[in-house]
């Protein structure tokens, strides 16, 4: 049955496709039907690419008929955050300023997914230019959390996370700059990974904060996320910050799922005031669970983590104020006010005024401030020093333990509108995730239960040193297996929003 196809994992679909129990066309159609049925309420997608998806599926089916060798993801549907450039499909980055923009080139990751035969279902909603933690900053409306449609799905990759949680796609890709994969994954009850910075190509990823942006996978299971992680990662000569090293063995680690003997550190500073009690209690249970599986748990202090948020909100806006300067109405995108009475500068300023939302404007101005002469040393320069100290905290910690753990985000999904015009409150959603972005190491969020007070998902964050992404999957998979056994069913089965 079609609805069964949408309930399957990517791994399951891959196997069913390989054994020809089902065709790529059937799988794709089932997901397109699901999108048609629910996306009116979830609004995960900005653009559904029905025609091209079915074409891609048909091509995969033909190749399979001809006995051509196909990669594991051939015929498996994937949703793509609208921050990745895609030929043939629009790329808006959730902004008016790119409304209708059709890039002439594919992001490297998109190209690799296409080459692997994955079927691209469409482009998902996001906070404008990846700035936000709720998808409320999208110029095209907020996506909704499938657990409770009056709540946010997290951000900035809220659309991708919601799509996976709503069974509209088994896999999705997003980007994580301050937590924009892990936080939405946590509040939607799915798995999301921020790979090692430089482990996945940024070529074709519209830049928000260049030294922090990291493309990564979403899945409903740890193994699914691992499969996508492996397919999308690896060195890219078009990206100078791309690491020339083999992708860590994430799939193997996800399958082994064995934490016995692993040293796990609980970060002291990622707890306390501002953390919802249900989040803390579920997290504590997750830690106990890992201990019961044979891990050695200790507390580790990372004293400079409390400066991570302010450092991030200096570095990221600084880089984005420069990255977003190119949106000036001259070569592509929105052009406003060009009626012959205005000069180029005026048209630029009017276009950017109309084309950018409030959060983007805030961060551009903040960035311009932090970089301006006279302020550079005290703000941007200082933040970069804090970054060094945070890296040293991680290095010291990883000298004692193999992975660090914390809640993924201090609260469960908050209601739509609650923090929309309170930037500082919104920023707090990234408290736990930001340190890994600053340091460039790998981190994952895996569901660890529902908060008793609201019945909403809580995420366990696991952090590993750069290039040790496999450790994430080892721990997350072990936790997932143990939890699923305890719960008797996958967590998502309890989602009542749809």
Partner 1 sequence: MTTETLVPFAEAMERYEPVIGLETHVELGTRTKMFCGCTTTFGAEPNSQVCPVCLGLPGSLPVVNRMAIEYTIRIGLALNCEIASWCRFARKNYFYPDMPKNFQISQYDEPLCTDGYLDVEVNGRTIKVGIERVHLEEDTGKSLHVGGATGRIHGAEYSLVDYNRAGIPLVEIVTKPVPGTGADAPVVARAYVTELRDLIRSLSVSDVRMEEGSLRCDVNTSLAPRGSAVWGTRTETKNVNSLRSVERAVEFEIERQAAVLDAGGRVKQETRHFHENNGTTTAGRSKEEAQDYRYFPEPDLVPVAPPIEWVAQIKAALPEAPSARRARLRAEWNLSEADMTALSNASALDLVMETVAEGASPSDARKWWLGELARRANEAGIELSALAITPAQVARVAELVEAGSLNDKLARQVIDAVLAGEGDPDEIVEARGLAVVSDEGELTKAVDEAIAANPDVVARIRVGKTQAVGVLVGAVMKATRGKADAARVREMIMERLT
Partner 2 sequence: MSITRDEVAHLARLSRIALSDAELDHLAPQLDQIITAVAQVQEVAAEGIPPTSHATGLTNVFRDDEPAPCLTPAEALSQAPAVEQQRFKVPRILGED
Active-site residues: which are they? 81, 156, 180
Q: What is the 3-state secondary structure (H, E, C) of 307-336?
A: HHHHHHHHHHHHHHHHHHHHCCCCCCCCCC
Number of residues that bind partner 2 (CB under 8 A): 68
Which residues in 305-324 contact partner 2 (CB under 8 A)? 307, 310-311, 313-314, 321
- State how far the Cα of 386 lies from the Cα of 148, in Å rounded to an integer: 38
Site string for partner 2, 133-172 (x = CB under 8 A): ----------------------------------------
Which residues in 373-402 contact partner 1 (CB under 8 A)? 373, 376, 380
- State how far the Cα of 68 lies from the Cα of 149, in Å rounded to an integer: 43
- State how far the Cα of 361 lies from the Cα of 220, in Å rounded to an integer: 34
CB contact at 8 A, 206 and 461: no
Please enumerate in sequence order all residues whose Cβ is within 8 A of that of 313, keeping only pairs 6 or more positions apart, or say none. Answer: 366, 427
Six token digits for residue 42: 């979830």
Contact pick of 240, 260, 373, 485 for partner 2 (by CB under 8 A): 240
Beta strands 263-267; 214-219: pairing state: unpaired
Contact pick of 78, 107, 286, 439 for partner 2 (by CB under 8 A): 439
Q: Residue 338 interacts with partner 2 (CB under 8 A)?
A: yes
- State how far the Cα of 94 lies from the Cα of 83, in Å rounded to an integer: 8
Q: Residue 386 interacts with partner 2 (CB under 8 A)?
A: yes
Contact pick of 101, 455, 484, 487 for partner 2 (by CB under 8 A): 101
Q: Residue 322 interacts with partner 1 (CB under 8 A)?
A: yes
Please give the DSSP secondary-structure letter assigned to residue 271.
S
- State how far the Cα of 34 lies from the Cα of 276, in Å rounded to an integer: 33
Six token digits for residue 322: 């420069």
Q: Residue 356 interacts with partner 2 (CB under 8 A)?
A: yes
Is the CA virtual torsion 264, 444, 138, 129 positive or negative? positive
Q: Residue 125 interacts with partner 2 (CB under 8 A)?
A: no
- Cβ distance to partner 1 smaller for residue 97 or 250: 97
CB contact at 8 A, 45 and 146: no
Give least dist CB 239 to partner 1, A: 5
Give least dist CB 130 to partner 1, A: 12
CB contact at 8 A, 132 and 356: no
- State how far the Cα of 312 lies from the Cα of 434, in Å rounded to an integer: 7
Site string for partner 1, 40-79 (x = CB under 8 A): ----------------------------------------
Residue 451's CB is within 10 A of a number of other CB atoms, namely 19
Which partner, partner 1, partner 2, none, binds residue 114 by CB below 5 to 8 Å per kind? none
225 sits in the region (left: phi over 0; alpha: psi -120 to 50; else beta) called alpha
Site string for partner 1, 280-319 (x = CB under 8 A): --------------------------------------xx
Residues found near partner 1 in the complex (CB under 8 A): 84-85, 91, 93, 98, 101, 103-105, 107, 202-207, 209-211, 237-241, 318-319, 321-322, 325-328, 330-332, 344-345, 348, 368, 371-373, 376, 380
Residues found near partner 2 in the complex (CB under 8 A): 101-104, 197-198, 211, 237, 240-241, 243, 304, 307, 310-311, 313-314, 321, 325, 328-333, 335, 338, 340, 342-350, 352-353, 356, 358, 361-362, 364-366, 368-370, 372, 378-379, 381-389, 391, 423-424, 438-440, 466
């Amino acid at each position: 049955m079609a609805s069964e196809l949408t309930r399957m994992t990517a791994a399951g679909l891959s196997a069913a496709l390989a054994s020809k129990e089902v065709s790529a066309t059937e799988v794709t159609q089932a997901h397109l039907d699901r999108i048609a049925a629910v996306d009116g309420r979830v609004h995960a997608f900005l653009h559904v690419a029905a025609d091209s998806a079915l074409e891609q599926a048909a091509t995969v089916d033909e190749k399979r008929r001809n006995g051509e060798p196909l990669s594991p993801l051939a015929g498996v549907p994937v949703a793509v955050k609208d921050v990745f450039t895609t030929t043939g499909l629009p790329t808006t980055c959730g902004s008016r300023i790119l409304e209708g923009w059709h890039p002439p080139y594919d992001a490297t990751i998109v190209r690799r997914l296409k080459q692997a035969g994955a079927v691209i279902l469409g482009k998902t909603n996001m906070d404008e230019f990846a700035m936000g933690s709720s998808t409320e900053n999208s110029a095209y409306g907020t996506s909704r959390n499938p657990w409770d449609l009056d709540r946010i799905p997290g951000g900035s990759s809220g659309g991708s996370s919601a799509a996976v949680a709503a069974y509209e796609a088994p896999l999705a890709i997003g980007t994580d700059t301050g937590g924009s994969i892990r936080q939405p994954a946590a509040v939607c009850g799915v798995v999301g990974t921020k790979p090692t910075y430089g482990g996945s190509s940024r070529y074709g990823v519209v830049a928000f904060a260049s030294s922090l942006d990291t493309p990564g996978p979403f899945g409903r299971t740890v193994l699914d996320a691992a499969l996508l992680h492996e397919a999308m990662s690896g060195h890219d000569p078009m990206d100078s910050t791309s690491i020339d090293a083999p992708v860590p063995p994430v799939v193997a680690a996800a399958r082994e799922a064995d934490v016995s003997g692993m040293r796990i550190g609980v970060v002291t500073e990622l707890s306390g005031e501002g953390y919802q009690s249900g989040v803390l209690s579920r997290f504590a249970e997750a830690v106990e669970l890992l201990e019961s599986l044979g891990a050695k748990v200790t507390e580790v202090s990372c004293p400079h983590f409390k400066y991570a948020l302010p450092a991030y909100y200096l570095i990221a806006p600084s880089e984005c104020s420069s990255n977003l300067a190119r949106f000036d109405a001259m070569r592509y995108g929105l052009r406003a006010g060009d009626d012959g009475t205005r000069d180029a500068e005026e048209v630029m300023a009017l276009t950017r005024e109309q084309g950018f939302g409030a959060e983007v404007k805030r961060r551009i101005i903040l960035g311009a401030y932090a970089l301006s002469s006279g302020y550079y040393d005290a703000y941007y320069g200082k933040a970069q020093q804090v970054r060094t100290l945070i890296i040293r905290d991680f290095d010291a910690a990883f000298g004692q333990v193999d992975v660090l753990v914390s809640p993924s985000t201090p609260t469960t999904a908050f209601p739509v509108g609650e923090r929309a015009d309170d930037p500082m409150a919104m920023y707090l959603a990234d408290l736990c995730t930001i340190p890994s972005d600053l340091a460039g190491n790998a981190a994952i969020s895996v569901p660890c239960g529902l908060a008793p007070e609201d019945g909403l998902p809580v995420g366990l964050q696991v952090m590993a040193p750069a290039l040790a992404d496999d450790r994430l999957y080892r721990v997350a998979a072990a936790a997932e297996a143990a939890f699923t056994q305890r719960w008797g069913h996958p967590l998502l089965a309890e989602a009542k929003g749809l």
